[in-house]
Amino acid sequence: MSTYAYESLLLFQAYAVEASSVVVLDSGIYVISGLIDGEKRTYDVWSLDCWTHVWHPFPSMGAARAYGLLVW
């Protein structure tokens, strides 16, 4: 992994990875909701483009969530 990609992941990890749902689809990694400071649920959805190593925000969800589950 390049240093840039690793630093990008670390910067995002500092935000809200706890209790997030993570989905890998095509060339993207999607992080859905989670907890901030271990207690505040988020509405946020983010996508990491694995080709460019850039995070992109998606439209927020209608309800704050944590510990979500995706069954496909």
Query: In total, how many domains does the chain have?
Result: 1
Residue 70 forms part of a structural domain: no
Instruction: Count the residues in the chain.
Output: 72
Residue 65 forms part of a structural domain: no
Residue 66 forms part of a structural domain: no
Residue 17 forms part of a structural domain: yes
Name beta bridge partners: 25: 28
| CA 68 to centroid of chain Cα atoms | 12
pLDDT at res. 4: 53
* pLDDT tens per residue across span 4-16: 555 555 555 545 5
- Could you tell me the residue range of the domain that residue 43 belongs to? 3-58
Is 0.85 surpassed by the pTM of this model? no
Residue 32 forms part of a structural domain: yes
* pLDDT tens per residue across span 14-69: 455 688 888 889 999 888 888 888 888 888 888 888 898 888 888 888 888 888 75
